[in-house]
Amino acid sequence: MVAISMLVLLGVVGLAIDAGLAYLVKARLNAAVDSAALAGARAVTTGNNEMEQRASAVGAAADFFTANIPNNYLLSAPRIISTTVTFKGGQAIIDVLADAKMPVSVMQVMGFESLSPVAAAQTIRNDLDMALVIDTSGSLSDSASTVRASARSFLSKFNVTQDRVALVHFASGAETDVPIRITARGFDRTTMESKINALAFEDGTASVEGMWNAREQLSLVPLANRSSMRVIVFFSDGAPSAFGSYLAFNSATDCKDTLGRDIAGTMDMAGATWGLGKMDKSEFTLIKENCKIYRNNAYAARNLPTWYNAHNDPKNPNDPARREFPIVGKWPREVTADISSGAGSGSAQYRRNVENASRNLAEAIASSARDQNIYVFTLGMGAKLKAGGDYDTDTGEMILKCMANTVDAPKRCQKPNQPVGMYCYAATDADLTPCFSRLASAILRISQ
């Protein structure tokens, strides 16, 4: 009876010891397959087709698995049994299955030779609709090569066969360099990189035009085709200082395009009107040189428009059906319709109105995008963002935080019922690529 009892006792002791070790191995194995599946989801964006993307995901999963559970951990032999990558309906589904065979000690008296803890993990990388907006104002001319390299690096983080991406740049006006695909998935990264390399950095900072085009691109995708995750990534080095508009000029023949239509120009704080959107060179020159709001010692335009109308039909620029964003008003910054004629192009009245309207519109369009469940991520670079405006105490950084609806944005613009984005500050050129990478990681994280 004592001998039999000893065998039972040894079995119980062996179960406690070996099962305890197996539990530790199992916990480490779970962590390893989780990290492997996540790594696979991140790496699946690398490659120009599904075969290359699958290989990239499998390789990354294997690397992260090995890094998180070394061979011979507690005498076990961990291994990945399978890594499966499935592309389905705009999603990339990564399944990782692994085990870790380990010898037993005391339990051998009960006929057991080994235990094999098993772990599995699945990560779903959802599809993405995104608009990348790049500031190409003249103040960035010295950093042009850094901006181009950082933007290209950012695009490399996304899946060319699954994610939809639009490319927009803005300065005094804005242009959609590569439009988003309306029905098909994916984007042409090679074309986008070519467009980025050709960007010219000149003129002002009409942030509202970049935001308007980005929101418009995402809205063009039919509801049934939209991705579950929609994002605007907005980069700038300064606070908004200009906005586009159809203006009523004092002369009926003043400031027309080559077809005799009123011109939609961009008002900046210096009193000039620049080209808005994509125009041929001759038309842009006409606007830039001959259509300034202040010239011949007087203001050629009558008043600021009551509503933002830069993208209305030229035949009906003040269409009441398209009054989405007010210009004249008291909140959050007061703007009046008056264009003063008493103090030249440096008129405080004019400059205050243009500065306040530019800032109001950038925030308003970003808020409208978030109302449509679009995340806004913003990135700012340079010391200018830390300074307040000429007539508004908010810094450029505060405005970018308001646009993104970050948790540390000014209280007046925080909207808890809207998506909360992210803001990253790059103090110098060297910080720009890491900042773009940080935003990319955050986007990929919330799309899983």
- Interval 213-226: pLDDT, tens: 999 999 999 998 89
Q: How many Cα atoms are found within 13 Å in the side-chain-facing hemisphere of 191?
A: 13
Residue 28, SS3 per DSSP? helix
Task: Report the pLDDT averaged over residues 43-66.
Answer: 90
Contacts of 394 (CB under 8 A, 6+ apart): 239, 359, 388, 410
Residue 2, SS3 per DSSP? helix
**Residue predicted with more confidence, 196 or 228:** 196
Query: Distance between CA atoms of 303 and 300, rounded to whole angstroms?
Result: 10
59-73, 337-351, 396-410: the lowest-pLDDT one: 337-351
Dihedral of alpha carbons 319, 321, 325, 329, sign: positive
Contacts of 439 (CB under 8 A, 6+ apart): 154, 233, 377, 379, 422, 424
Query: Distance between CA atoms of 213 and 133, rounded to whole angstroms?
Result: 9
Query: Distance between CA atoms of 291 and 347, rounded to whole angstroms?
Result: 18
pLDDT given for residue 8 in this prediction: 60
Task: Report the pLDDT averaged over residues 378-402.
Answer: 96
* Angle, CA 323 vertex, CA 275 and CA 358 arms, to 5°: 45
What burial class does residue 317 get, using C-beta atoms within 10 Å of its C-beta: 0-12 exposed, 13-18 middle, 19+ buried?
Answer: buried
15-19, 212-216, 341-345: the lowest-pLDDT one: 341-345
- The percentage of the chain sitting over the pLDDT mark of 70, rounded to a whole number, equals 88
pLDDT given for residue 110 in this prediction: 57
Task: Report the pLDDT averaged over residues 78-91.
Answer: 88
Residues of the chain with CATH 3.40.50.410: 128-242+308-446
pLDDT given for residue 223 in this prediction: 92
The mean of the pLDDT values for the chain is 88
Q: Which fold has domain 128-242+308-446?
A: Rossmann fold (3.40.50)
Q: Mean pLDDT: which of 147-151, 223-227, 270-274, 343-347 is highest?
A: 147-151
Measure Cα distances from 401 to 43, 326, 354, 410 in Å.
29, 21, 21, 8
pLDDT given for residue 257 in this prediction: 66
CA 359 to chain centroid: 20
66-70, 232-236, 256-260: the lowest-pLDDT one: 256-260
**Residue predicted with more confidence, 249 or 395:** 395
Q: Is the pLDDT of residue 344 over 60?
A: no
Work out the pLDDT band at 12, boundaries 50, 70, 90.
Answer: low
pLDDT given for residue 293 in this prediction: 81
How much is the pTM?
A: 0.80
| Contact yes or no for 76/116 (Cβ under 8 A) | no
Q: Is the pLDDT of residue 109 over 60?
A: no
Contacts of 230 (CB under 8 A, 6+ apart): 128, 129, 130, 218, 372, 373, 374, 375
Work out the pLDDT band at 22, boundaries 50, 70, 90.
Answer: confident
The class level of CATH for 2-125 reads alpha beta
**Residue predicted with more confidence, 9 or 133:** 133
Task: Report the pLDDT averaged over residues 69-91.
Answer: 89
pLDDT given for residue 317 in this prediction: 85
Bridge pairing between strands 118-125 and 91-103:
antiparallel
pLDDT given for residue 248 in this prediction: 81
Q: Is the pLDDT of residue 343 over 60?
A: no
Query: Distance between CA atoms of 171 and 201, rounded to whole angstroms?
Result: 8
Query: Distance between CA atoms of 448 and 93, rounded to whole angstroms?
Result: 10
What burial class does residue 195 get, using C-beta atoms within 10 Å of its C-beta: 0-12 exposed, 13-18 middle, 19+ buried?
Answer: middle
- The percentage of the chain sitting over the pLDDT mark of 90, rounded to a whole number, equals 60
CA 188 to chain centroid: 17
Residue 176, SS3 per DSSP? strand
Task: Report the pLDDT averaged over residues 3-16.
Answer: 61
Q: Is the pLDDT of residue 1 over 80?
A: no
Work out the pLDDT band at 393, boundaries 50, 70, 90.
Answer: very high
